[in-house]
């Protein structure tokens, strides 16, 4: 589908500098721009590419001041990065959506199905499942008994949703994710082995949540494991049983949250962050990559790093010291030798 510069600018509430009828039908990076594509410039490091890019239209910040002539049509906006993301959403929405039920899908007779639902090959939809309007279940998805999936939600190939789980509207669950597997619950016995504790809770995922590929969200032992509205999880994340992640928190890849921990709103976790169980993280907390959290974080909005983690500033100052410990040790050894000689 083609979009003109004037249409894109109106959508982005920007202004056109150049040909308002310039047309694009694809997206490209500015350094790899081709005719008929839309690019953006937000980072000054990439400015050199705008003077030679072949992209037809480039989104730039309002205050961008070119140092040379530019052949592309410009769309000036307040924030080029955010506007390009919005343009990508428009581009994605313009693509034709899959609809229809494959003859190779297995759908129970008790399923309640909305309008314009897509179910791909070898997907299984079990008893008493509710699918909202415009739900898309790609091939080889499994949906267990009594699951509810809200309108516009997409389950990519190989997603598994265990019985009783609830997924809200306009969510995206990426390939290989598992929603509602058993929590890690075992009780030691007198025979020095472990007896499984039945996990009879469920997972509740609210609206506009995105779950990355091969991420697992375990069902609760009792009650529910909950991802609140707007939560974004990267690939390869582990969410333990009875965990609650509050609204608009984002967590990067390979992080893990142990059972019954509570994470506040608008938090940001870097990659490979680990939380022990039964702790609480205040809203707005930012945790640097590879940090280990072993106790409650009660102060809202702080930045922490390290394992065990503490405030970012003191950590950085401490790091500048302990990375020089071998050198300091050598100096101490030399001083000891001089003292002995005295």
Which sign does the torsion angle of CA 48, 13, 249, 305 carry?
positive
The pTM is what?
0.86
Range in 135-144, 262-271, 326-335 the model is least confident about = 326-335
The owner of tokens 């190989």 is: 158
Q: What is the pLDDT of residues 60-113, one digit of tens each?
A: 999 999 999 999 999 999 999 999 999 988 888 877 888 899 999 999 999 999
**Predicted pLDDT at 26:** 92
Angstrom distance (rounded) from CA 155 to CA 149: 10
- Please count the other Cβ atoms lying within 10 Å of the Cβ belonging to residue 38: 29
Angstrom distance (rounded) from CA 244 to CA 237: 14
Beta bridge partners of 194: 188
**Predicted pLDDT at 90:** 83
Q: What is the pLDDT of residues 184-196, one digit of tens each?
A: 999 998 888 999 9
Range in 15-29, 76-90, 283-297, 306-320 the model is least confident about = 306-320
Q: Which residues are catalytic?
A: 241
Q: Is the pLDDT of residue 127 over 90?
A: yes
Cβ–Cβ under 8 Å, residues 95 and 77? no
What are the structure tokens assigned to 181, written together?
């597997």
DSSP letter assigned to residue 93: H
Cβ–Cβ under 8 Å, residues 95 and 80? no
**Predicted pLDDT at 308:** 87
**Predicted pLDDT at 333:** 86
Q: What is the pLDDT of residues 312-341, one digit of tens each?
A: 787 777 777 778 788 888 888 888 888 887
When pLDDT is averaged across residues 126-131 and rounded to a whole number, the result is: 98
Range in 23-32, 37-46, 88-97, 301-310 the model is least confident about = 88-97
Cβ–Cβ under 8 Å, residues 244 and 262? yes
Q: Is the pLDDT of residue 278 over 80?
A: yes
At 237, is the pLDDT very low, low, confident or very high (cuts 50, 70, 90)? very high
When pLDDT is averaged across residues 149-156 and rounded to a whole number, the result is: 98
Domains of the chain (ranges; CATH) run 3-94 (3.40.1390.10), 100-316 (2.160.10.10)
């Amino acid at each position: 589908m083609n979009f003109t510069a004037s249409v894109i600018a109106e959508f982005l509430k920007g202004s056109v500098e150049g040909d308002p009828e310039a047309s694009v039908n694809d997206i490209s990076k500015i350094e790899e721009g081709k005719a008929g594509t839309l690019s953006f410039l937000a980072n000054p490091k990439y400015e050199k590419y705008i003077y030679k890019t072949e992209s037809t239209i480039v989104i730039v910040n309002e205050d961008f001041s070119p140092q040379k002539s530019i052949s592309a049509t410009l769309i000036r906006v307040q924030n080029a990065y955010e506007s390009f993301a919005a343009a990508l959403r428009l581009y994605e929405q313009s693509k034709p959506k899959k609809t229809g039920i494959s003859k190779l899908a297995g759908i129970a007779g008790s399923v309640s199905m909305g309008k314009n639902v897509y179910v791909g090959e070898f997907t299984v939809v079990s008893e008493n499942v509710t699918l909202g309007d415009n739900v898309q279940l790609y091939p080889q998805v499994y949906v267990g008994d009594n699951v509810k999936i809200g309108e516009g939600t997409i389950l990519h190939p190989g997603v598994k949703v265990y019985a009783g789980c609830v997924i809200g509207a306009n969510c995206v669950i990426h390939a290989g994710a598992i929603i509602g597997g058993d929590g890690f619950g075992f009780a030691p016995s007198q025979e020095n082995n472990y007896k499984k504790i039945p996990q009879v809770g469920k997972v509740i995922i609210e609206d506009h949540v995105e779950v990355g590929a091969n991420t697992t969200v375990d069902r609760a032992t009792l009650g529910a494991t909950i991802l609140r509205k707007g939560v974004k999880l990267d690939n390869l994340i582990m969410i333990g049983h009875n965990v609650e992640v509050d609204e608009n928190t984002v967590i990067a890849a390979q992080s893990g949250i142990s059972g019954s921990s509570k994470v506040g709103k608008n938090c940001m976790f870097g990659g490979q962050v680990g939380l022990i169980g039964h702790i609480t993280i205040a809203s707005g907390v930012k945790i640097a990559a590879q940090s280990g959290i072993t106790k409650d974080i009660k102060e809202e909005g702080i930045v922490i790093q390290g394992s065990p983690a503490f405030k970012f500033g003191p950590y950085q100052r401490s790091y500048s010291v302990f990375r020089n410990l071998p050198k300091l040790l050598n100096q101490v050894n030399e001083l000891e030798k001089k003292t002995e000689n005295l």
